[in-house]
Amino acid sequence: MFGAMALLLVPGNQMRALFSVALISSGLTFFWSLQLFYLFDGAQGAMQFVERAAWMPAFGIEYIVGIDGISLFLVLLTTLLMPLAILASWSIQKRVKEYLFFMLFLETGMLGAFVALDLFLFYVFWEVMLVPMYFLIGVWGGERRIYAALKFVLYTMAGSLLMLVAIIYLATRHAQITEVLTFDLLRIYQLHLPIDQQIWLFLAFALSFAIKVPLFPFHTWLPDAHVEAPTAGSVILAGVLLKLGTYGFLRYAIPLFPDATLLAAPVFIALSVMGIIYGAVVAMMQDDIKKLVAYSSVSHLGFVMLGLFALNMQGIQGSLYQMLNHGLSTGALFLLVGMIYERRHTRLIENFGGLWKPVPLFSTLLLIVMFSSVGLPGLNGFIGEFLILLGAFRVTPGWTALAASGVILSAIYMLWMFRRMIFGPVRHVENEKLQDLNAREIVILAPILLLIVFMGVYPKPFLDRMKPSVDLTLKRFATIQTAPIAADHAPGTP
């Protein structure tokens, strides 16, 4: 229901050059998704608002969309960040029409990928996202934009093309075993393949998602893409696009191939923890704020992956929660960086210092966002990280202890950056006459900050709605776990 509406809504408005049209369009999309939030039945774990239509019957490909407690919040996050990102791109002068076209196009792709319930449809949206993001980085980006854009596309394509083969292969197996040719995710869930096939398929899916997340060591495209992308591009990239990778794990790779997941979990936990530490240490060394935030993303997404592969309630719930947190706090960080960049046209930390005096409001907001990102109790980041560590500790205490040190590291690099930027004397003359945030910028940041505080104090409404769906995923997992491997050859194990 929702995906179709978004699709209809967006193309109709694409061609108008006005920001307001784009704003209204994305705002309306947000409004519709809020409606969805109210209509959503939080007690149910299954898919809701399912829509289906035949698309390519010869291949068993259908248009199926629907949402559950896992995708609901990611959809909301997307629709919330999109109008804010558009509002934040006020300073774009060049080719405004095309810019907005690609932004809305990107939103369509992201929403489609979150709501798709057909493997083929998911793949289509997954790839569709690449094109506008490529243009956003390549046309409106910084100096090394072409290099960054190409790197982004090639990395992502490399993963996703193998996933395409895996998808087709999966559908082929399904057709051979059950004689039904379909790409319907919920039906393919029923399939239980022998372990060796699972491993290969899992690896093909996991590679694609791991590049997107990005999981260490597939992260090298991220800093380039982030640094070169325009502010709104960074916000969307960090806020939503990366979540598609973790979402992909949770919706596709893990439940489709449970046996392989179990086998691979230790490896992925190790990689996540390495990512956490590595991201944090590299972030500490950066002198460019945007790069610092980019590497902090690698570190934070490591937490999310750690939670996912803990494979228990707390871990996955924490991961989901952390996905939202990261979308909000890192989105806000990029917005703030973009705002200061517009004023000073530099992102080097050493060019700032003593900002508290000229721009107190900016500094306060930065402080709050930073605390959220670090995981200060009382703000949203704390709950996510706490749940993840709780979940992971039950599985691997050793790695979890290491991961927890990542929290400390993140506090170090964030606070150090903050100290160098905000405190101390004003070292550069240009910084003395900086304008503080204007009304538009406050409007952009206000909803994010409210959510940061609200989600930190009262996470219940969010966690409650996630729980049944996560439960369902885990239960599917548990039943297949207990089923003996001898059931391999029984077609369609429920």
**Which residues are at the interface with other proteins (CB under 8 A)?**
54-59, 95, 98, 120, 123-124, 127-128, 130-131, 134-135, 138-139, 145-146, 149-150, 153-154, 157-158, 161-162, 164-165, 168-169, 172
Q: Is the dihedral of CA 302, 305, 309, 315 positive or negative?
A: positive
Nearest CB to other proteins, comparing residues 136 and 452: 136
Residue 89 DSSP class: T
Q: Rounded to the nearest whole angstrom, what is the least distance from the CB of residue 58 to other proteins in the complex?
A: 5
362-397: b or e for each residue (b if 16 or more CB lie within 10 Å)? bbebbebbbbbbbbeeebbbbbbbbbbbbbbbebbe
We find the least distance from the C-beta atom of residue 306 to other proteins, in angstroms, to be: 30
Neighbours of 75 (CB within 10 A): 24
CB atoms within 10 A of CB 488: 16
Q: How far is the CB of 183 from other proteins (least distance, A)?
A: 11
DSSP H/E element including 225: helix 221-228
**Please, which residue, 138 or 239, has the CB nearer to other proteins?**
138
Q: Among residues 105 and 352, whose Cβ is nearest to other proteins?
A: 105
- H helices of 345-482, in order, are 360-374, 380-395, 397-422, 439-457, 460-482
Give the residue with the Cβ less far from other proteins, 124 or 336: 124
Nearest distance from C-beta of residue 86 to other proteins, angstroms = 21
Nearest CB to other proteins, comparing residues 158 and 348: 158
Tell me the angle at which helices 360-374 and 380-395 cross, rounded to the nearest 10 degrees.
20
- The minimum distance between CB 165 and other proteins, in angstroms, equals 5
CB of 61 to other proteins, least distance (A): 9
Question: To the nearest whole angstrom, how small is the minimum distance from the Cβ of residue 127 to other proteins?
Answer: 5
> Which residue's CB is nearer to other proteins, number 2 or number 155?
155
Cis bond leading into 217, ω under 30°?
yes
* Residue 185 or 335 with smaller CB distance to other proteins: 185
Write the CB contacts of 15 (distance below 8 Å, at least 6 apart in sequence): 97, 101
Between 155 and 413, CB nearer to other proteins: 155
Contact 457, 378 (CB under 8 A): yes
Q: CB under 8 Å to 144, separation ≥6 — which residues?
A: 224, 227, 228
Q: CA-CA distance, 257 to 176, in Å (whole number)?
A: 18
> Is residue 348 helix, strand or coil?
strand
Give the β-pairing of 61-67 and 48-56: antiparallel
Cβ-based nearer residue to other proteins, 218 or 462? 218
Amino acid at 490: A
- The helix/strand/coil state of 144 is coil
For the CB of residue 145, give the shortest distance to other proteins in the complex, in Å: 7
Residue number with CB closer to other proteins (23 or 168): 168
Name the residue with tokens 């087709």: 168
Rounded to a whole number of angstroms, the minimum distance from the CB of residue 150 to other proteins is 6
Return d(Cα 239, Cα 217) in angstroms, integer.
20
Q: Which residues contact 378 (CB under 8 A, 6 or more apart)?
A: 453, 456, 457
Smallest separation (angstroms) from other proteins to the CB of 89: 18
